[in-house]
Every structure is written in structure tokens, then in C-alpha cells.
Structure 1
Amino acid sequence: MMLVNPNDSLERQNEKLLRIAESLMRRVEYGNSTSNDAYAHFERSALLEKMVQQRTLDFERTLDLLHESNNQLAKAHRETETARRNLADAIETVREGFALFDPDDILVMCNSRFCRGFRDTVPRLRAGLPFREYVDLVSRSKHLQLPADDTHATWAARRIRRHQDRHVMFNVEIAGDRWLQVSEHRTANGGTVILQTDVTEIIRLERQERNRLKDKQARMIRATLDHLDQGVCIFDENARLLTWNAKIGDLLGIPTVHWRLGASFRGLLEQSLDDLAFSPASDRAMFLDWSAETGTRGPISFEIRRNDRQTLRIFGRGMPDLGFVMSCTDMTAEREAARQLHELNEALEQRVLERTLELEDALNAAERANASKSRFVAAASHDLLQPLTAAKLFVSSLTDRCQDEDSARVLAKTESALISAEQIIDALLDISKLDSDGLKFDVRPVPLRDLLSTLRDEMEVLANRKGLDLRIVDTGLVVETDPGYLRRVLQNLMGNAIRYTQSGRVLVGGRRDGKSLRLEVWDTGPGIAEEDQSAIFEEFRRLDKTAGVSEGLGLGLAIVERACTRLGHPLELRSIPGKGSCFMVTVPIASRTEPKRPDVPRDSHDLSIEGSPLLVMAVENDPPLRRAITILLESWGIEVLVAGSGEEALELLDDLGIVPDALLLDQQLGAGMTGTELYEHLTAQYGLLPCSIASADRSQELRDTCDHLGIGLMLKPIDRQQLASFLSQASTMRPSS
């Protein structure tokens, strides 16, 4: 049991303890001294006194702590008041209007500049004002200048909606042509800081700058219009004149008095209608209708004639504001130049045609002369070879019976001269054949082992006579060529190598290059300078001027060059002066064992069966190309039926009652049917025929159509080899008569 209530204050507890102690002391002093409990009471009194002293000390310490807490609280209160005053002073020094709302959108504080432009709202701005009431006060302020078609309620509603964003910035116009920029920012605890900045000067400067730029732009536009060599005028959406330059009046012949701001387009045009001639006449109504359109206008362009002397180009285009701009350009000089150029072109075309005919006549005459020359050389060569052969036999018989050394030397020189003459005639005969269009090559698979073996037997004697090492690398390849002419080419190259090499060796071999074989003839002779490497292929051209007739006639390489060209075998030369030369001939490797037909037909026997020439129907709508195809095919001995359109071709075959052996059809035949459509008509009437379409159209659609019909496609310009190959195949497909 406790003597005091612990819930009492320390003062009350001390008071009770003092009374208890006094009571106990009185009982000890005045009570029954004979009682046995006297000493016990004394001990309890001493204990109580000790407890009172301890409680007193605790009370004193508690009082000290309380005083210290009160001092700290007072200090914190002073610091808080100081910080509040400092914050208020800092906010007040801000040049912009400042307001702080707490996370519940309640106004905490603001400075004196806040809402200064709305003076009728300032008395009601106080701490604790809700944000919605603040917006309502501003929206109803008489100083707020609302935008057009806007009310106080709609402005306030829009302001509340924007308050939901984290960052807000907009401009507000107030009375007296002043402007405030209002910006809102969220604080870390969800409150809102509002800043109001006076941007009146900035807005006015921007307005002045914008007006200045507009004036400057207007001056630039005016200067540009006046500088243009074209006449220009601009109209608004109601076809009323906005601006123009002086050139437009001069070109259209409209007096200056009629050019005024707001003049109607139709009224201006009527001032010059009598002098303007539209071509066609419908352009006039179309032009007026275009100017009267109310929507967006598309571009319009046409030419007119003024007083039969000037040609004017009119161009009009709509603008985004539904107005339109019109320009007028004097095209008289250009049209006159074009007319003169057209007349000049016609005269030139006539002169070109005349000169072309003259050149064709000259070419035909040259070809006839060349053919006559070739025939003469061939005939003369054959006639001369017989007496030369007889002369050689007589000389040989005299040499066997002659015992005089001087006479023997004369006969040896005579025989050498006859051999040289025979070589010259043989070379001239070869050149004559190679220059002739009627030459036919026997192109077929040729085993190189047999050809090189024959040449080894012939050339080893000459090489051994000069002490040269002749090496021929054997090969088992088979090539596609004319064996006679390839043998003559290699024979001439090897003979030249042995003739002009004084010491060393001559090497002959082949290098495979894909589907071709490059035959090479190497020597260790004097070499050929680069400037002379093209001249050595000319007739009777020898670099060694001191060489005699027995050392070469200057025709061997000319024959090699012509033969390789006609056979389609590329010929190359590599040479280093003082070290030697290498002549290279590239021939295709044979892919089959049977003889190959010639690529390009040379006479009527190439494309005929049992003497009957091939009959080809050629349909081409371009006259010059049609004539060129006809001349080429006829030069090959082919009979040609020509037509300029599909309808003409069908009528021609129907009138003649014959069926061609092959068809060569242009794809674009003008307004009528195409080449593929003509082929379908012909096959429906005459059955399947060999056909090839000639076209410059490289589209996949045409290729697919030709593949579907099973016919060939030759892209223009037509390749001579491809045309010859098609006709050769058509010749083999034709049934024998």
C-alpha cells in the first residue's frame, strides 16, 4: 500500500510526505514512550524522510529538464518565425507574382505582386483561399480580356482543366494592352507554385517585329514582281485583284487605269478579249470557269495569240487561302525560234536523206568494186600459180643437170624468187578470201593434238636450221573453229617467231580460261615497241627495213588479224623490246562433237533447203528500220515479206496465199494490234510458226507473254548474231520440199 498517489504532482506528493513525517514525529515525541513500537515508528520515519529527500531530488531534476525543454521550444519558435519572415521577405522581393498552394489546393501565401493586374481580386486573396475560388475571382475580374467567342465560365473551366497538368504555361491579356505569362509547377509534396510574369514588352516587341517583317516582305514581293520578266497578278478567293506588276498590263494590252485594287478578274479579262485569240476557242470558257471556282483550284496552263503577233503563255495556280495567282509569259521569240528550228530540221532531214542515199549508192559501188577486186585477185592468183608451178619444175630439172657452180647459184636464186612470188600470190589469195563477204568458214570441233602435231613436223626443220629450241606443249582439248584457218594463223605466228628470233627458243601452248582456250606463241626475239604494235598487222608492213623477200613479205600478220576477226577469235599481243613477244589467240572450247553451223549466214545456201531460200515475214512500223531489216536479210539470200502493221500483214498473206517459214514481229505496231496479238492471229490461221518478237520493251510482262506463247524475244537494238541464230534454227525447222 502506497502512502501517496503517484498520479499527483511532485508538489502535492511532497506536501503529503511532509505531513506524514510531522505526524510521525509528534507520535514519537508525545506518544507512549513505554510502547514497544516506538522504535519501529522511528525507523519508519527515518525511511520516509530518506524517500522524501530522493523524491525532492527527482523533482528538482525534472524541473531542470522542463526548463531546458521550454528554452529549446522557445528557440525553435523564434527560428520558425525568423524563417517565415525571411521566406515572406524573399517572396516579396521576387519581381513576378508568386503564390503557393498546399497539396489540398489551399492558398498558403502569396506576395503583393500576385494578381496585381487584377486589382479587384487582391482584397480577397488571403491564406486558406481554395484554388477554385481563386480561378473564379480571376475569371470574373473586369480587367481580364477574354478571347473572342469566350465567356467567363468557359475560361474558368479551361483553367481548371489545365491545372491538372504537372507543368502549365500560358499568356493572359489584361486591360490596357498588357500581358501576363502564367506558369504552374508542382512541388515535391504535391503543392502548386504559381508565377505571374509581366511580358507586355516582349509581346509588343514581337508584334512590332512581326509588323516590320510583314512590311519588309511586302516590299520584297513588290520588288520581285516588278523585277520579273513575266506578268504576274494575284487575286483573292472572290477573284478580286490584290497585287500585280506593270508587265502584266503590257503583255495583255490592258490600260493602266483598269488595274486597281479590288478589280474583278472577269472585268480585267473583258478589257482584252477582243485582242486575244484562244486556241482552241473552248479555252476561253474554261479559263473563266476556272477563275469562278469557289474551292481549291488546280493548275491551269495554255497559250493565246494577241493581235496575231504575240504568243503568250498563261499559267494559273490556286493558293491555300482559296485565292489564285496568274502569270503571263511572252513566248513569241521561243515559238519563232521553234518554227525556224522545225524548218531547219526539215531541211536537214531532207539533206541527210539525200546524203544517205548518196552514201548508199557510194557504199554499193564500193562493195561492188571490192567484190570485183576480190574476184579479180582470186582469178589472177589461180591463173598465175599454174605457170609459176611449171617454171619451178623447169628450174628444178635444170638444177639436176647443171654442173657449173655459177649457173647453179643463179638457178637457186631463180627458184627462191619463184617461191617468194608463189608465197605472195598465196597471201594475196588468202586476204582476198578474208575480205570477201561470200567466204564460208567450216567451223567444227577440232582436236588440237592433231593440228599441233602437224605444225611441229613443219616448224622443227626451220627451228633446227637456226639453232632454236622449239617447244610445243601438247593438249587434248577440242576447240570450235575452222581447222584450215586456225592452222594458217598458228603457222604464220610460229613462222614469224622463228624468222625474227636469232637465239633462244620458241614456246607454243594453251591456257584454259573458263569456256575458252588461249593459244600462246612465245619467242625470245627482239620484241616490238608499243608504238609499232598496231602497225605490224598492216599489209606489206615490216619493221626490219633491211630484210629481204625471203625473210617475210609483210602479209602474214595481216592474214592472221583478218582471219581472227572473221572467226571471232580475239587476238592479243604482249611484247617487251629486247626480251621477246607473245601472240595470243582465244578460241572457244567445243561443247559437242558434231560440226557447228556458222553463226552468221553469208549466202543463200546458209539459210535454204535444197536450193529453196527461206521466206520470212517481217512486220515493223518504223520505215527506216523496216528497210534496214529487209536489206540485211536479202543480203543473206532470204526472201522477205514486209508490212508496217498487223492488219497489213494479214491482208498481204491472204492476198498471196502463202505461208512464211518464220516471223519477225515488232511488238509496238501503232494503234492496231501488238506483235504478240498478231502472232496469235497468224497461228490460229496457219498453225505454229517460228517467231521472234523484236521490242525495246524490257518489262517482265512482255517476257512472260513470250514465254507463255513459246516464242523468242530480241531486245532492240537487234543483235546481228542473235538474228542469224534465230533464222538458222527456223531454217532447220522448215520441212523439206
Structure 2
Amino acid sequence: MIDSLIDPADPPERQTQKLLTIAQVLMRRVEQITDDSGAAYAQFQRAAMLEDQVRERTRDLERALDLLNDSNARLAEANRATEAARQNLANAIETIQEGFALFDAQDVLVMCNSRFGMHMSDVRPHLKPGLTFDDYVGRVSRSRFFELPPGETAQDWAVARRRRHQDRHVIFNVRMVWDRWVQVSEHRTADGGTVILQTDVTEIIRAERSERGKMLDDQARVIRATLDHIGQGVCIFDAEARLVGWNQRLGQLLTIPMARFRRGVSFDAILDRFRPDLAFGDGMTEGRLGDWVAGKGAGGRGALRFELRRDPDMIMDVFAQGMPDGGFVMSFTDVTAERAAIEALSRANETLEARVMARTLELEDALGNAERANASRSRFVAAASHDLLQPLSAAKLFISSVPDEGLAPDARAALDKAQNALLSVEGILGALLDISKLESGRAAVSVGPVRLDRLLSQLNDEFGAIAAAKGLRLTVLPARITVTSDPAYLRRILQNLIGNAIRYTDRGRVLVGVRRKGATARIEVRDTGPGIPEEEQDNIFKEFHRLNARASASEGMGLGLAIVERACALLGHPLGLVSEIGRGTCFMVQVPRSESAAASDGPRPSPPPRPSIQNRIVFLVENDADLRRAMGLLLEKWGVNVLDAASGEEALSLIDELGILPDGFIVDYNLGEGMDGLRFLSEMQARHGPVPARIVTADRRAELHAACAAAGIGVMMKPLEPRALEAFVAGLPAAG
């Protein structure tokens, strides 16, 4: 039909026009037909789309079910893993030797092992999850297996225990029945919970108690030996006025058999024994003495001195003094001879007016001697320390005098050990005397310019070998600075700090240096030791406190840092401390720089060559035969010619007889009765002019040292150092 509508003979443009007209007619017909059936087609189209949506939702539901099943499987696996971890944790804490418990942030028990609550079988059945910390503390405080501290009730202990629980870290010991001990260590966790460890430390405490008992026994033997060798009668009473110590001299003075002295005897019982034979001097009555013993006096148990007469033939000077523990000590000194001398002088003064002046002078001398004798006897501890230093000096010098030639290695090793032991004893005695002076406020200081380069160089020489023997590297940085301080106390401060650093450092190094800060210099002593916990940084400056003490008193008695703190306070030098656990500690002492600091920056002069000490003539004046013999042997070992005498009078007589003036004198200050060392040297200077000399003494009184300095005489302290003797002899002028 289309072929009939299009004439092939028509031109192309005509044919195209016809075809467009035909297409338009056909399109209008198609559109008309679509409009009549459009609603049905739309319904069909929506049905198809709904089916597609249902199919898509079904696939989504299937995927969701698959994910749910997978999640349930993983949850079940996680629950199994959690239960296994909980069981592993329970098994792990059960293998711990200590008791273990974990409380959550609300102080409710989460878990514990079977050892928690050890030694308290009445508490352990209640240690189950859900138990509160307060309930736990209450049950422990009421346990019949728990021994409360003296004077505390169960409620008091529980309150104190809950107060400790507020701290992040707590460590303390508790005592159980049958003398068993448990250490409790409590620490906070990151989420606010609490971990408690309980360790049975019974054996440790019993061992410490045994060691402490041995040390106390050793100290008691030393004290007993001291008391038995002094001329005073001494008795010691505890806070309840019961006898705890005495010496034999006491029984001789009071004429009481030693069998009557027993520990625990009351003061009243002893007073009853000698009441009929004794009479009190002026100003003292039995009632007043009883009030003092009972502590009822106005001053409590302050120092008390009175006179006691036994029959008409003996007069005793009694000195009583309270002790820090509430007890008291009494000393009895026979002053009959002194009193008789006083009375004889008084009678002579009354009958011989022509000799009034001479007798008065003699009386003053006698009184002065008596007062000095009484004062020295009343301080029997100081006298005891002198008695200990005297044989210690002799022992050190005897060991130093042993020749090295032909000595077996075992014998040399034994001598070295003996020398080290004596050095340890010397250090302990020196520390005890230093801490006593610093604590009592009797220490005298002499502040002046101190060159740190010289002081640090000496300390480097002193401690270098000690550090090397321990495998440590000691580094002392040069510091040409002059500071203002007491040279002796500053040296002791740095000695203790460096010695402590070496003692407590097992590996690494110890560094000593100085930092300039304006008008001050800060001396630092650093080590690579274990460090000091923050809670222990105040305690280490207490007497007899040693952090992680591992050995005997040969490693120190915990007095070094106490001396450092008190000496720094005495000198006004601020003391600082910085420490990090596992990395080391740094002690810092801040010292003012001297105005003459610039002068210290010059070159240090080289020391002169050491002269030979052979063929020198040295005169020893020493009343102790052992010490005199020890010094003589040591000097003779060095090639020195030695003259000796036991007293100043004997020495003067010997010098006059020989007609030879020695090159130098070494003179003990305490020469017994007669002239002392200073008087002897004064007499020598009056006869022969200035002579090189040294005073040897264990007396650390500032007055004595000032007197020696005023006389131009040096002092060597007991126990004597062989190097100090050698240095003095080496400095003597060569014989002409």
C-alpha cells in the first residue's frame, strides 16, 4: 500500500515528504490505542515492581539471618574464650605463693586464691566474690587468730586499716597467733580497683629478730667491758625504776655483795639495803631522791647531783640523769681524797695565816682538778670512747708495722682483713661521735675559703681504688672554684655522699661535679644505683636507717646521711635529692662561692718532691705502753730513729741526760697525772726554743683544738692514721 502511495517517479524530496506524512498518521493512531489500555499496563507494571521489591527484601532478610547466625557463633566463641581466660587467671593466681585478692572500684571482692586470709581459718569461709572491703576488714579485726597491736581495740585497728586503704600503695606487717607474721601489700589498679597481696614473713622476721639479738648481745658485751673498766660505780634502771645494768665497782663503793644485784630489783629495794650505812649531803633528802626517781619533781628526771657519805671514811659524788626511754642512770664517784684535800687546806688556812695566799692557790688548783675530774667521770660514755680509740690506734699501728718481706700471702690477706675491720670500727666510732656532737649542738665550725679542686682531688684519690675494686667508674670533674664553708665538715659531707653512692651502686658509675649558679656552687654526687623510693626519701636521713640493708655494720650503720643532713643544717648549706627507681640518685649540696673565687682559677702548684724520712729522730711521749710500742715499731720500719717516754717529766729528764734535741715530737695530750702534752711542749719551747711537734688525742673538744692552734701545734686524732704519721715525719727538717 505504501508502494501505491509513493510514486517512484517522484523526485526524492517529494518521496521523503510523503513518508513523513504517513509516519505522523501512524504515530497518532498508536498513541490513541495506548491511551485506551494505559491503566491495565500501569497495574501490570506496579505488580512487576512489587515482586522485585519483595524478592530484594527476601534476599536482605536472608543476609541478615546469615549475619545473625555468624554473630551468635562469634559470641559463643568469645564466651568460651572468656571463661577459659577466667579459669586460666584463677589457676594462675592459685599457683602464687602469696595470698591474692582483687577488689573492684566499688570495693567489692572480685576474686581471690585459697592462700588469701592465711592463718585466719575463721575468716576464709567468708572470702567469696561480692564481699565488701569494709566487711572484710571488720572480720579480720575480730578474728581470734589475729593479734592486735598493744593498746588497740578491734574497732581502732579497723578504722586505721580503712584509713590506710585510701592510699595508692600500702605495705605493713600484721602479727598472728603463735608468733606468725604476714606482710600485707595493697596497690591501686588503673581502673580504681585494689590488689591485695599477703606474704608469710614469719621466718624473715624471726631471722631479723635473731640478728638484732646478736647485735644487742655484742653491744651489751662492749658496754659491760666499758663499765667494768671505769673508776665509777654505775647502775642503770628502766622506766619502772628496776635495775637492768651495773658494774663491779658499784658493789665495792656501796659494800653490797654482787650476788645481791639482780635484774629487775627495784630501786627502793637497793635503797633499803644501804639506807642504815649512808647519809645524804646538804640539799638532798631521801624524800627528794624518791620524788626524782618517780619523776614527780618540777623538772621530771633532769640532771641531779648530790653527795653521799658511807660511814665517816668515804664520800661519794652521785650524778643521776634520765634517759630517753624513761629510765635513768646513776654514777657513784669516790671523791674522798678530793674532799680530804679540801678540808686539809681549809684547816691549814685557818691555822697558818702566814701562808694564806699559797694555801689559797693550792686550794683553787685542787678544786679545779676535782671539778675537771668529776666532769670527766660523769661523762663516762665519752671516756669509754677514748678508751676504745686508744687500743684501736695501737692495733692499726701494729698491723701497719708488720714488714711485707717474707710474709705469706695468707698472712697478708689476714692482716688486710684485720686492717679493714679496724677501719670499719674507726668509721663507726667517728660517725657516732660526729652525730652526737651535731645532735647536741656542741659542734664548732670554722668557716673560711675552701678550694674545691683540691678537696675533690683528694676525694678522688681516696675513693678511686674503692670504686675500682667494686668494678665501678668514679669520675670527679675538675672545678676550680673557691667556696665558703668549714673544710672539715664539707669534706665529711662529700665523703659520706660519695661513700654511700659507691656502697649502694652495683654497676655503672659515680659522677661528682660542680655547677655554678650565680653566687653559689652546687656540688652534685650522681650514681647509677637502684634509686630511692619517694616514700623512703625522708627516712634515709634518720639515724640507723639503711635502705635495703644487706650486710653487717661493716657496710655502715645508717649514720652517714644523718651526719650529712645535720652538718648541712649546721653550715646553712641547702641539701637536695633527686632519684629515679632503676636509674640512680643525685644528691646536691649548695655552697656559697667565696669572694676570692677568682684567685682559685690560677694554676695549681705542683707538690714538692717527697723527702726521705730515714735517719730522722722522733721522740714519742705516750703513757699507753701498747700504743707507744706500736708507733715505735711503725716508725722504725720506715727507718726513723725513735726515743720514747711514758710521761713529760721522764722525757725532759731523758733529753737533758742525752744532750740531743730530736727532729720532732709526737706527744699524747692525756699523759695521766702530772703535766699534759701541751704543758710538756711549752716547757720544751721554754728550754730549747720552737720544736716541730704534734699533739695526739681522742678529745674532740673545740677548746683543746683552739689551745693547740694558739700554741702553733698541729693535732692528730686517734685512732692514728699511718699516713698522717708519715706525712708529719716527712715534713721535719733534715738533720744538720
**Computing the radius of gyration over CA atoms, which structure comes out larger, 1 or 2?**
1
Larger RCO, structures 1/2 (Cα 8 Å, 6+ apart): 2
Could you say whether these structures have the same fold, taking a TM-score greater than 0.5 normalized by the shorter chain as the test? Answer: no
- Return the TM-score normalized by structure 2: 0.36
